[in-house]
Structure 1
């Protein structure tokens, strides 16, 4: 009968209520939009989808490595660890590689660690390689926490506590941590109350700076500031005179008459010296006389010479 054919693809017209009849029902729903087409990697059955799943499965099966923490660093090597202990660095733990040869340095490390309550851990050599990122550790490494910086105002408070006129060293764009360590050491030796450094584009108190300070970093606070120029102005408002070391300074160091008052000594980088804004903020620019005008001093030596001169004029060595 016409319209009732059982042939494949034939339409059965069953009368009222049949959603397949006419232009309504399923036909209307079929004309409705289904939204944007998903990306190939999100469509099941697509080769891109299967490839993505294989990658995810592989990643999930890999053992996860410990996350790197930005609050600690490593000192690798026997001499370095021994020197760090002698410098009283705040070491939290010491790692020894399995099978490491016992010598005098290692025995000293064991003894000092026991006296100070520093934890000792023995680990496989390949684990030591991973922890120290391939450094030459000689079977010994130490972990130290991040340095705790002081607030710039703490340096003034420290001078007030001992009833002395503030003497602060500020570093402008000094990027070598060894220079920072040398400045800290000189600050301790010549009676300065602290060292000020910028937070960015400057060396920080790393293990290298600690080691160069030869233990002085445990006695002299180092403060950080977001804006060096602004902090120098704050020191000026607190009554300090700010001098900057410059090769073309207006005043020679032996003629400096501000040494016996509250003083901030600003040292620039060896290559570029003081930045423009810092130089303009200084009350005086001071030069260190040299026999040969072509010679120059790095930041650590320049700070040491200046601090010695200031200490001598203050009578620090006779008090």
Structure 2
């Protein structure tokens, strides 16, 4: 009867047992290779290809970190590159497409770059396409180095060292770099000590700002404030009056005595004006009367008017 045989060494089951000397190798051979890696790390996976494509597109874009200097900027296209070089915008390299159809603008760009001691780089079209994220570069790309922003304290310190009353312009919510460049130019023209811009949601010293400043950005510092309200409060502790421009201000510009001493002039955006916290921080809110009937002035013009008035009084 099956299973009851008394014969020695008779097999009563088809199941094989462990053989002598395995040492548990079979058990170890069943162990896995660890957790499954995420899809982005699996070779050939669609998500990995998508992640790689996204990383390639990001190359050449400005990347900013909180508290760090701004990254390099690219000026793209024949006319913008030539104009930037004519205006003396600081640059460190000119990229020229290989076998590009040369015209007067390409030749002038190469000549200006050579005279300015810039690095000339000949690159194939696919490389320029990658650098510019496939913008219409027309075979010319100018690389602008990061702007070296000052600290707000540097502006008042420079005025003190020169034995002068501080004359500083702070911009609140001004996002057009051309307005920033125009303010820098006015500050330079009327003997100011610099411009303060917020770190976020504000125009920075781009190539457009450099061009609008007509070269004055090379000698007029622009400082970047992490928090504009706290920066203005710090100036007040130094004895500097903070004057805000507001269309509904209670004092007319000609009546403001603060312009004769150390002062920070705060200019808001043309559309929204000063933000609430900045407006509340100002020592006085000032309006510019406009008999011609215009509703407002852009930031560059408004700052120029006030700076002229301050310079006139100080003479």
The superposition leaves residues 203-251 of structure 1 with CA deviations (integer Å, 9 ceiling, x where unpaired) of 2112222222222211210001111111111111212111000011111
Of 19, 28, 45, the residue aligned with 1:55 is 45
Distance 1:199 1:10 in 2: 75
Shift of the 57–85 alpha-carbon distance from structure 1 to 2, 3 Å rule, reads closer
Aligned to 1:23: none
Aligned to 1:234: 234
Aligned to 2:72: 72
Aligned to 2:68: none
Aligned to 1:163: 163
Q: How do 1:1-319 residues align onto structure 2 when only pairs under 5 Å count?
A: 1-2=5-6, 4-6=9-11, 8-9=13-14, 41=36, 52=42, 54-55=44-45, 65=56, 67-68=59-60, 70=63, 71-291=71-291, 295-315=295-315
- Deviation beyond 4 Å, 4+ runs, structure 1: 51-54, 56-59, 62-69
The superposition leaves residues 28-75 of structure 1 with CA deviations (integer Å, 9 ceiling, x where unpaired) of xx9xxx99xx87x57xxxxx99x955429985xx89849546321100
Distance 2:277 2:46 in 1: 53
Distance 1:82 1:158 in 2: 34
Say whether the 8 Å CA contact 1:96–1:122 is kept in structure 2: yes
Q: Secondary structure at the match of 2:258?
A: coil
* Alpha-carbon offset, residue 117 of structure 1: 1.6
Say whether the 8 Å CA contact 1:260–1:310 is kept in structure 2: yes
Distance 1:5 1:11 in 2: 13
Say whether the 8 Å CA contact 2:243–2:265 is kept in structure 1: yes
Q: Secondary structure at the match of 1:258?
A: helix
* Alpha-carbon offset, residue 116 of structure 1: 2.5
Shift of the 52–134 alpha-carbon distance from structure 1 to 2, 3 Å rule, reads closer
Shift of the 6–308 alpha-carbon distance from structure 1 to 2, 3 Å rule, reads same
Q: Secondary structure at the match of 1:312?
A: helix
Say whether the 8 Å CA contact 1:155–1:221 is kept in structure 2: yes
TM-score, length of structure 1 as denominator length: 0.79
Unaligned runs of 5+ in 2: 64-70
The superposition leaves residues 238-284 of structure 1 with CA deviations (integer Å, 9 ceiling, x where unpaired) of 12111000011111112222222111100011121111121111111
The aligned length equals 287
* Alpha-carbon offset, residue 199 of structure 1: 0.8
Shift of the 54–259 alpha-carbon distance from structure 1 to 2, 3 Å rule, reads closer
Larger radius of gyration: 1
Unaligned runs of 5+ in 1: 13-17, 19-25, 43-47
Q: Secondary structure at the match of 1:248?
A: coil
Say whether the 8 Å CA contact 1:89–1:218 is kept in structure 2: no
TM-align CA RMSD: 3.3
Distance 1:190 1:169 in 2: 12
TM-score, length of structure 2 as denominator length: 0.80
